[in-house]
Every structure is written in C-alpha cells, then in structure tokens.
C-alpha cells in the first residue's frame, strides 16, 4: 500500500496468543468473539470501531507483513526521502518478531533484514552513473541512556542537536549480521515474556547517492525502531532493578504518547473565521485553536523520533496486539495509540544537496530578476498599485454583499442557499453596490 502526502501510515499486527480466541473481520472494523465453549458464544459487537490502513491476520506471514507495511519505504529512501517504521505494543505481542524475526531464515526474518536486502537489490539494479554511500547505526535506549550496540565501549551517548537530529552514526558492514548485536541488548525474564526486551532499539540506515554525471546528491534516512513493551508494571512481576527498568520504559512510552496526542491535537486548525461574531468571541476562538506545544524533549526516545513524528518523514506504525482477554486494557490502549497516530500529518521533502554549480545558477537567476525589477521601477510600481486597488475593490464588494445578506436574515427573510455569500472561497454574488458606498458599518 502506497503512502501518500506524508500521512502517517498505520498497520495492525494481531498475534495469536491463546487458542480459544476467534477473530472476525468486517470491513475496517474488528469483531472480537471470545469462544468459551463450543456451545456458548459471546459477541462483543457494541465496542468501538478502529480504522487503520491495513490489518494483518494472526496467520499472516512475515513476507505479507513486510510487503504491506514497509516495502514502499525502500523506494522512498532511495528517492531522497526520510522514512520510519516502528513497532508499538505490549510485551509478548510480536514487536521484535515483526521487526527482526529470525536472521538468516528466509521465511521468518522480519522487516529489518528484509528492508536492508531490498535496499541493496534496488541499488544493484539502478543506473550505473549513481554512486552510493551507506551508513548504519544500531543503538538502544536503556534507562534513558543511549548505548551503541555496534561498539560496546561507547556508553551513554549524547544527542547532538544538529539540523538532522541524528544521535549517533557509525559506518559498518551491514552483512556482518544483527544476531551478535541483538545478544548485547538488554533482555530479562518477566511474567509477561521469558525473553523480554528492556530497551528501545533503533536501527538507522542513511543512504547517500550521487549522480556522477550531473553531480546531483540525494540523502535518505530510515529509522527502524523496536520499542520496549508497554504494560502495567504490576503484570510483569518485576522487582528491584527490573522494576526500575519497567518504570523508565513506561516513562519514555508515556512521553511518546504525549507527543502523539499533542500532534494529533495540533492538526486541528481554524477553518472559518466569522465576521459576524463579536470581537470577544473571535479572540476566544483564536486561543482554542492554537497549536499545542509538542514535548519532544521529555525523553531520549521522542527526541530521536522527532523528525519521524510530525516532521520530515514518511512513517509507518505497526501496532502489535494480544488477543487474550486478560490483556484487554493494554490492547485497547494500543489501539487508541494507533488511532491517534493515524491523524498526524507529516510534511515530507526531498533531501537534496545542491552542488556549487547549481547554487551559482540559482544565484544568477535571482540576480537577473533583481536587475529586471531595477530597470523598470515604474512598471513594477504600476502593477503593484493596480493589484492593490483590485484587491481593495474586491474586498469592499465582498463585505458589502455579506452585510446585505446579514440584513436580510435580520429582517426574518429566508435567504436561498444559492444566494449565500461564500467568504471562504472568496466567491461573491454580483451585487450592485449603492452609489457612494465606500465604507462598511460596524457589525
């Protein structure tokens, strides 16, 4: 499925946890049917409907998940766009299985090895005039500290606030494999998962390409994120150091949820500004619809994913849910997280690095424009004066038409919809203004 205009794209991965739970799919809504026995069935049809871009059944293969949720990002990254894929859900819901899978197994390998392989396959089949440079970083966020999984000697890395907000970059051979680095990540046993990951892992691929013929350079970054499990601390049975880990995990995931909520709220904008409301009400409307602050700095995780959330990136969110009735609260929270994330709009642009010759050509073009404006100042002033007068006249006519319509409503007349004044699109009726009508009365 192709992602359009930078809209955040969700995918939902339903992993089978118990044998006695049956899933039925009807359109974009989900009907959960809990089978207690062969003769008794409980239909939960009154629940809330959640809409996503794609829903994968419990028996979906790794290849189906990859093709439906992440494959399209390969071409985006090679075209100079930034991309992100991250898995969200509670412990033992299938996040690591979805993102990593079993390395070296063609059927069970997850999104990360498949996407790396496809990037190289695309590069080998592209124009011979293109030269590629690939940089890879693999790090984890553990107890709010960043640790390099490719070099264990580098601990507690800092996040440098450069223009790209990249925490750390390291050149390595991708073919070295990720199994060794996975062994270095923090994994413990809890009541929820025998091999529970206690950290957020981030696999970063930076692809830089240069056309040797035209000197054009494009750079694409791809974040592949496996988040730690989100669940209540009481359900994990954690104690001591593991309990502190769980608290830090919930803190960072809570910060991520706050960022998602702030971005979802910030997508609401003023669609109409009524001229007929009192000035006091106008000011109140402006305050209500102001974009809220996005707390990116509340955690290391949200700072790293800042460009992926509401920034310059095409983002896919894979939400992993457990169908077990005992995890109902966590599943509902995960579904709501995905629903909010779907409303976020990212603005994506191509990361193009201009050459010195291209900068020079643009400079010469701007210089020529300035020279032409200087040689004909009278014409420029005349055009500006004409445009200004036309705008003023059009606005006067529009306001007069609006006032006349308002007076008709005040007199109790029912104005036909075809005669309504459309202020949003700037379209007005052919209203003959009374002679000498140069100003409007206060509304």
- Residues 310-341: tens digit of each pLDDT: 888 999 999 888 878 888 888 888 888 888 88
Per-residue confidence (pLDDT) for residue 371, from 0 to 100 = 72
Per-residue confidence (pLDDT) for residue 265, from 0 to 100 = 76
CA 158 – CA 248 distance, rounded (Å)? 18
Domains of the chain: 9-356 (3.40.850.10), 385-443 (no CATH)
pTM: 0.65
Per-residue confidence (pLDDT) for residue 378, from 0 to 100 = 56
pLDDT of residue 304 exceeding 80, the answer is yes
240 annotated ligand binder: no
- Residues 37-83: tens digit of each pLDDT: 333 334 455 667 888 888 888 888 999 999 999 999 999 999 999 99
92 annotated ligand binder: yes
Q: Give the confidence band of 194 by pLDDT, cuts at 50, 70, 90.
A: very low
CA 150 – CA 132 distance, rounded (Å)? 22
Cβ neighbours of 322 (radius 10 Å): 25
343 annotated ligand binder: no
153 annotated ligand binder: no
What secondary structure, in 3-state letters, does 320-380 show?
EECCCHHHHHHHHHHHHHHHHHHCCECCCCCCEECCHHHHHHHHHHHHHHHHHHHHCHHHH
89 annotated ligand binder: yes
27 annotated ligand binder: no
CA 289 – CA 111 distance, rounded (Å)? 39
What is the mean pLDDT of the segment spanning 129-144? 88
- Provide the mean pLDDT of the chain: 71
269 annotated ligand binder: no
93 annotated ligand binder: yes
- 27 Rama class: left (phi>0) / alpha (psi -120 to 50) / beta: left
- Residues 411-437: tens digit of each pLDDT: 778 878 777 777 655 444 444 444 444
């Amino acid at each position: 499925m192709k992602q359009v205009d930078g809209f955040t794209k969700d995918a939902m991965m339903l992993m089978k946890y118990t044998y006695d739970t049956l899933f039925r799919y009807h359109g974009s809504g989900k009907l959960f049917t809990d089978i207690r026995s062969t003769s008794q069935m409980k239909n939960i049809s009154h629940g809330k409907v959640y809409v996503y871009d794609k829903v994968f059944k419990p028996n979906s293969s790794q290849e189906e998940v990859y093709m439906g949720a992440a494959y399209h990002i390969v071409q985006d990254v090679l075209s100079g766009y930034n991309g992100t894929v991250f898995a969200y859900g509670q412990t033992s819901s299938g996040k690591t299985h979805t993102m990593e899978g079993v390395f070296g197994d063609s059927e069970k390998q997850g999104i990360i090895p498949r996407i790396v392989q496809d990037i190289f396959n695309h590069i080998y089949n592209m124009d011979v005039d293109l030269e590629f440079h690939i940089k890879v970083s693999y790090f984890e966020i553990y107890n709010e500290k960043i640790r390099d999984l490719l070099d264990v000697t580098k601990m507690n890395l800092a996040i440098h606030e450069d223009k790209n907000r990249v925490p750390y970059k390291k050149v390595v051979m991708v073919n070295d494999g990720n199994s060794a680095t996975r062994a270095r990540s923090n994994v413990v046993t809890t009541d929820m998962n025998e091999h529970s990951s206690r950290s957020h892992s981030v696999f970063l691929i930076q692809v830089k390409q240069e056309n040797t013929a035209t000197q054009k350079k494009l750079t694409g970054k791809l974040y592949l994120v496996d988040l730690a499990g989100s669940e209540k601390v009481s359900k994990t049975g954690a104690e001591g150091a593991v309990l502190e880990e769980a608290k830090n995990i919930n803190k960072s995931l809570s910060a991520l949820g706050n960022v998602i909520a702030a971005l979802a709220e910030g997508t609401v904008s003023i669609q109409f500004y009524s001229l007929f409301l009192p000035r006091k009400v106008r000011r109140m409307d402006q305050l209500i619809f102001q974009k809220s602050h996005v707390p990116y700095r509340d955690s290391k995780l949200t700072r790293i994913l800042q460009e992926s959330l509401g920034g310059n990136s095409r983002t896919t969110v894979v939400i992993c849910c457990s169908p077990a009735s005992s995890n109902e609260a966590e599943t509902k929270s995960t579904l709501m997280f995905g629903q909010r994330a779907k409303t976020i709009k990212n603005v994506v642009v191509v990361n193009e690095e201009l050459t010195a010759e291209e900068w020079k050509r643009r400079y010469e073009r701007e210089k020529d424009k300035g020279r032409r404006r200087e040689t004909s100042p009278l014409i420029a002033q005349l055009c500006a004066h004409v445009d200004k007068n036309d705008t003023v006249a059009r606005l006067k006519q529009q306001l007069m038409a609006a006032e006349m319509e308002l007076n008709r409503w005040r007199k109790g007349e029912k104005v036909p919809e075809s005669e309504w004044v459309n202020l949003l699109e700037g379209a007005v009726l052919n209203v003959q203004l009374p002679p000498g009508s140069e100003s409007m009365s206060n509304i």
